[in-house]
Structure 1
Amino acid sequence: MTVDKFQPSSASDVFSLWWKQFWGLKIPRKILHFAWRGYQEILPTRNGLFRRNIASSTSCQLCGFGGESNAHAIFWCPVAQGIWNLMEFSFLHEVKEEIDFKNVLLYASEVVDREAFAKFIICSWAIWTERNKITHGQQIRQPQFVVEWISSYYESILSMKEGPKKSSQANGRNREASAGSSTSAQEQRLYSKLMVDAAVLSTTSIVGLGAVYERGDTL
């Protein structure tokens, strides 16, 4: 599998469409912005900090690998792999570790559906957030706890997406019920205004019929 396979079409309109779909994902903007920074290779990894003369080494703080790129920090570090191995994104086993963040992101968008791609980005962001605890002197959680948190967070996002839809559907049903009740009431009022009576004269076998509206009209 080559890097070229991961590249979007050279046509600018296709590339623009990819970004339009990316920014249209229904997840928090801060997470999309994180993925955009990863794509642009501007996350503050050890490589990036070293280039800016902020870090004295490019080595990964978690595993010691001598080149903490965006892709290594999020996908290939053993700590990150411990989390990914508990997720459903098996396609990560199909790519090689020399593939950068941008091409992993592009490949993911090709092989999974839109909802799974959104969850993939959320998982990437969660791993990055967990790694940053080391920088702030905190302990990182065990992989299973991180995965549980990711699942809970993703479900909360889905709930927020479904909330307005369900509310709209409920309002629609209420309007239909109200309209139905109004129609039934009108029909009930229409029929209740008409009163009918009949009489038979036994000696002559003559039948008499009559109908009266409430307002006094006689048929």
Structure 2
Amino acid sequence: MKANSPLATSSSDTVVVSKGAPMVQPTSGEQLSLIQGPPSKHCSGFRYDRNVDSGWWRKFWGASIPNKVKIHLWRACNEAIPMLVFLYRREVQVGRFCSLCHTDLEDVSHALWYCPAAQSVWRMTALWPVLSSFPGGPFVNLCVFGAGKCNKEDIDVFCIIAWCLRQNRNKLMLGRVLMQADAVVSWAGRFLGEFLTCNGLEKTTIPTKSPAKLPWQPPRSGMVKVNVDAAVHESLDVVGIGVVVRNEQEWTIETDAVDVIRAVKDPVPLALE
């Protein structure tokens, strides 16, 4: 089945809708009414009003981001991403609760904002001081809220982070290892930077909040503590790992530094050392 898409640039542009997929009925502006059963608790009593959207859609369509990210955000704003709650309502044999936190139903709003895993990512971005005052509601409300307080560069970053959150969550469904929050933010920065560079646009960095430094705590009596750190020297193409072993009196017992590439290529001499 084919249907006209609001993302189409001409009357001939279409999108393919597979059999059994949720049908959508466009109304005014970008608003869609999705036939997918009762709304989640985040969307309860919600009705989108294009007159109070803080220019979200104008800023969104003008964002300097890949089209696949725009499609993802458009679908997210219209609750048209097949999250577990949606699949459950379509009588697919899956659980409804979030696969990461296991404490709430997994809908779009939960996956991209309310889930503790998502919150840990947002907290590491410079957008958090603004987004943290969001009063609540479905994901599209968060977009509208942010659009009223953020500039164009911030909107670009917001969209990329939301897309990366979804991609990272998909790793779990594929049996892959999830990235930690700081890795997701770093990935988002590289992804956006590469896109802007390839398209001859001004590069935007994703500023992060520096994590608080925790004081070193000595181990229990009779135990030792091993601290490990790694560093990458891009110009020399070298990756190194350093190790420090200390006891409860903070005495250094052993230290070592290893060239990872050399260790992988020739591990026997290193083991003998």
Query: Fold conserved (TM > 0.5)?
Result: yes
What residue identity is the alignment partner of 1:111?
A: K
Task: Specify the code of the residue in structure 2 equivalent to 1:94.
Answer: S
1:49 aligns with 2:87: yes
Counterpart for residue 150 of structure 2: 112
Quick one: distance in 2 between partners of 1:89 and 1:7?
24
Encode CA deviations 1:7-54: one digit per residue, 9 max, x unaligned.
Answer: 5416xxx89x75344223221111000000101101111111111112
Is residue 2:137 matched to residue 1:95?
A: no
Q: Are the equivalent residues in 2 in contact too, given 1:31–1:121 (CA < 8 A)?
A: yes
Give the aligned partner of residue 160 of structure 2. Answer: 122
Instruction: Go from structure 1 to structure 2 and tell me whether the alpha carbon gap of 1:156 and 1:57 turns closer, same or farther (over 3 Å shift).
Output: same
Find the aligned partners of 1:113 and 1:65 in 2 and give their Cα distance: 34
**Contact 1:7-1:106 within 8 A present in 2 as well:** no
Matches within 5 A, 1:1-219: 7-9=49-51, 18-90=56-128, 91-96=130-135, 98-162=136-200
Matched to 2:133, the amino acid is E
Preserved contact between residue 34 and residue 125 of structure 1 (Cα < 8 Å): yes
Cα distance in 2 for partners of 1:30, 1:75 equals 20
TM-score by length of 1: 0.64
Local SS of the residue matching 1:66: coil
Q: Measure how far apart 1:55 and its partner are.
A: 4.1
SS in 1 for 2:71: helix
Opposite residue 136 of structure 1, the aligned amino acid is L
The alignment yields a C-alpha RMSD, in angstroms, of 2.5
- CA distance in 1 between counterparts of 2:201 and 2:139 reads 33
Deviation at residue 162 of structure 1 after TM alignment = 3.0
Mapped to 2, the partners of 1:18 and 1:104 lie a distance apart of 10
- Provide the rounded CA distance (Å) in 2 between the counterparts of 1:72 and 1:162: 35
Deviation of residue 58 (structure 1)? 1.4
Q: Specify every segment of 5 or more residues in structure 1 that has no aligned partner in the other structure, as ranges.
A: 165-219
Q: How big is the shift at 1:100? A: 0.5
State the aligned residue count. Answer: 156
- Within 1, Cα distance between the matches of 2:60 and 2:79? 17
Sequence identity, in percent?
27
Contact kept, 8 Å, 2:56 with 2:144, in 1: the verdict is no
* Distance apart, 1:117 and its partner CA: 0.4
Report the Cα distance in structure 2 between the residues aligned to 1:163 and 1:148, rounded to whole angstroms.
19
Larger RCO, structures 1/2 (Cα 8 Å, 6+ apart)? 1
Alpha-carbon contact 1:60-1:68 (below 8 Å) kept:
yes
Tell me how far apart the structure 2 counterparts of residues 159 and 116 of structure 1 sit (CA, whole Å).
17
**For each residue in 1:123-157, what CA deviation from the matched residue of structure 2 results, as whole angstroms up to 9, or x when unmatched?**
00000100010111111011111111111112112
Gaps of 5+ in 2: 1-44, 203-273
Q: What is the CA–CA distance in structure 2 between the aligned matches of 1:95 and 1:53, rounded to whole Å?
A: 33
Greater helix share, structure number: 1
Give the counterpart letter for 1:9 in structure 2.
N
